[in-house]
Amino acid sequence: MQDKPTPNGNRRNNPNHKKNTNRQKPHHKQGDKPNHAENRAGTGNKKPANKNRNKRKNVTTVNETMHASLKENAIVKDAIMQPWKQMDISSKGKIRFTPLGGLGEIGGNMAVLETETTAIIIDVGMSFPDETMHGVDILVPDFSYLHTLKDKKVFIIITHGHEDHIGAMPYLFKELKFPIYATPLALAMIENKFNEHGLKADTKYFNFVTLRKQYELGDMKIEWMHNTHSIIDACSLAIETPAGIIVHTADFKVDHTPVDNYTMDLRRYAHYGEKGVLCLFSDSTNSHNPGFTKSEKVVGKTFDTLFELAKGRVIMSTFSSNVHRIFQAMQRGVKFGRKICVIGRSMERNVEINRALGFVDIADKDFIEVHEVPKYSDHEVLIVTTGSQGETMAALNRMATDEHRHIKLKPSDTVIISASAIPGNEASVSGLLNKLMKAGVTVRYREFADIHVSGHAGQEEQKLILRLIQPKFFLPVHGEYNHIAKHARTAIECGVDERNILLMGDGDQVEITPKYLKKVKTVKSGKTYIDNQNNMTIENDVVLDRQKLAEDGIINIVAQVSQNNQKIVGKPVITTHGLVAEKELKKFQKEIETLIETLLLTLKPEALKNHKDIENLIRNTVRKHVIRTKKRYPLIIPTIFII
């Protein structure tokens, strides 16, 4: 039996090879070279070499035919990785993309894609205010730029029915009206908003779309592609423009086991990827999350556990638009013999819509009204309600503060909060948890890992879309700057040229052609403040005044000034709020009075002819004094009467 050669054909250099001194040495044939490795000094004899030692290695012959095949396969591989190269580079077509909300923030999504003759508005969403915006309930994008599109054919394209994509629709329609294209659920939710705002007649602008069907709008063709998200009927967009194909994912995750078993239409994404995509716009919300986002179905398994543990009533709160989450809770309610009570205006409305459209298949007999809850034992009741974000007026918060008219919390209750805090709402959610725990109920929130899953794609899902599309240009959308920057790095890892990526902010207008991608200008963008109690706009200066009042306080000064001797008549009335403590008020009032008296004596007599001028002078003088002594910037309101 012969030794096996080492990988390089040299036994001698193989450290694991041991020489067998007992074996018989084979004779070499005539013409074979002797094996000097085995002919050691001192033997005096030439020993025959192993006849297999010097055979040529088995090397594949690379001939011209194989070279040609390798070249052809390399060309095919390059075409697969860069399908956009089949685009007509000489095309004169160009488009412009202008985000007006949703970049640099979470929510408030709205963007405009336009050609020379046509403009489509992609989503019209709202966002939530921060704690400094006193009395403001929601924020809607500034619509100023949309007024400049009056010479074009304009259409509104809705990707799905979340508030941050449709919440600003009634406010837009109070200014401008355009045809709306969307799936049935999104339009049903918009219709409810229009009814609340007295815009019922504007449903004549509705156009219901069918998936995988192209709609010719101006000089663009648009197809809605089904995706999976935390709401039913969510879609991505494939848009054929004079410059090339655009794919906009909107909000998505790749859920292979969705609750309704309608998976993301990945074949359609691949279809457009094969045709060659000029630019991909993709959701960046979860771009820092490695791996895949979990399936919505895992929440149902968690509900099974929580319902088994619950001894009394179960009160479940989530986003009212997350119908799959609500449906799973209702299924467990029926399974465990509980009657379902839906509380909260938005929750009631969304459940009603989805039942009417056939998305929530729960029988009428399983539902009860809120006034019927006391008729049933606690272990026979499931309450599905709003308020997972700690909203002051929501039903769950009113229950926690014992202000709800029908539902009074009991120590035997289990409250499930199946949602995560929207950025900026963390303090409100924490406050809600504190109130619930003080009420003595069992709160299920984060201690169960799968009590909530995101509706947005993690890095591996983002990579999948990037690889299916293989775009020439990439514009990450939906998220704060750190989210889109991270998504850009993921795109580079997936083969997108770094020079073909731009990081945008709201108001940045980007021009796209087959040859280049560049920022061309910045348009007016921003937010409009809305008071939800009356659905009215709050002017910017009002919000700024409220901020100033909250942070720096207010000074009111009322005084009479004699034009004859330029002195204060009587004693001025000086009041402050939020600036000095009560015990320091008299001292402060004296300081201000002295300042005004000194100022008046330095003025020329003709300066007293206009009381507005005197008020401005007093305001500026008092402001400088307060800044120097208090390091504050209060609102100062002087009222001067010249007599």
Q: Render pLDDT for 484-536 as a digit per residue (tens, 0 to 9).
A: 999 999 999 999 999 999 999 999 999 999 999 999 999 999 988 887 777 77
Residue 41's pLDDT is 43
Residue 16 banded pLDDT, cuts 50, 70, 90: very low
For the residues 598-607, what does the mean pLDDT come to? 82
The sheet carrying 138-141 orders its strands as: 138-141, 527-531, 536-538
Distance CA 407, CA 447 (A): 25
pLDDT of the residue at 133: 79
pLDDT category at 447 given cuts 50, 70, 90 is confident
- CA dihedral over 148, 150, 155, 156, signed as positive or negative: positive
Q: Is residue 585 pLDDT above 80, yes or no?
A: yes
Question: Over 80: is that where the pLDDT of 186 sits?
Answer: yes
pLDDT of 285 above 90: yes
- pLDDT for 411: 95
The whole-number pLDDT of residue 426 equals 85
Joined tokens for residue 391: 């909203």
The whole-number pLDDT of residue 54 equals: 56
pLDDT at position 35 over 50: no
Question: In this predicted structure, what is the pLDDT of residue 403?
Answer: 92
Mean pLDDT of 201-216: 98
- The pLDDT > 90 percentage for the chain reads 69
**DSSP reduced 3-state for 197:** coil
CATH of domain 95-291+455-531: 3.60.15.10
- 564-568, 589-593, 627-631: range with lowest mean pLDDT: 564-568
pLDDT in tens, 544-584: 778 778 888 999 999 988 888 888 888 899 999 988 888 99
> What's residue 531's pLDDT?
79
DSSP state letter for 233: T
Q: How many CA atoms lie within 13 A of 33 on its CB side?
A: 6
Query: How confident is residue 56, by pLDDT bands cut at 50, 70 and 90?
Result: low
The pLDDT tens digits of the residues spanning 234-276 come to: 999 999 999 999 999 999 999 999 999 999 999 999 999 999 9
**More confident: 206 or 615:** 206
Are 126 and 101 in contact by the 8 Å Cβ rule? The answer is no
Alpha helices in 500-610 (DSSP H): 540-552, 585-602
Strands of 427-522, DSSP E: 442-444, 473-477, 508-512, 517-522
Q: Whole-prediction pTM value?
A: 0.80
The whole-number average pLDDT for the span 83-90 is: 88
For 135-147, what is each residue's pLDDT tens digit?
777 889 999 999 9
Q: What residues form DSSP beta bridges with 640?
A: 559
Tokens of 271: 């279809």
**pLDDT averaged over the chain?**
89
In contact, 45 and 58? CB cutoff 8 Å: no
Residue 611: predicted pLDDT: 77
Domain range annotation of the chain: 1-59, 95-291+455-531, 297-444, 553-642
Contacts of 461 (CB under 8 A, 6+ apart): 252, 253, 254, 292, 293
Confidence of residue 430 (pLDDT cuts 50, 70, 90): very high
Contact by Cβ (8 Å): 476, 287: yes
Q: CA 397 to CA 388: how far, in whole Å?
A: 9
The mean-pLDDT minimum among 9-13, 388-392, 490-494, 528-532 falls in 9-13
Question: Once rounded to an integer, what is the mean pLDDT over residues 21-39?
Answer: 45
Q: What is the pLDDT averaged over residues 294-314?
A: 95
Q: The domain 553-642: what is its CATH number?
A: 3.10.20.580
Query: Could you tell me which residue, 464 or 12, shows the higher pLDDT?
Result: 464
**CB count in 10 Å sphere of residue 392:** 12
Average pLDDT for 161-170: 94
Q: In the CATH scheme, what is the code of domain 297-444?
A: 3.40.50.10710
Q: How far is C-alpha 83 from the chain's CA centre?
A: 29
Instruction: State the pLDDT confidence band at 621, using cuts at 50, 70 and 90.
Output: very high
What pLDDT, on the 0 to 100 scale, is given for residue 214? 97
For residue 359 the two structure tokens come to 């998305």
Region for residue 611 given its phi and psi (left: phi exceeds 0; alpha: psi -120 to 50; beta: otherwise): alpha
pLDDT band at 449 (very low <50, low <70, confident <90, very high): confident
- pLDDT tens-place string over residues 331-363: 999 999 999 999 999 999 999 999 999 999 999
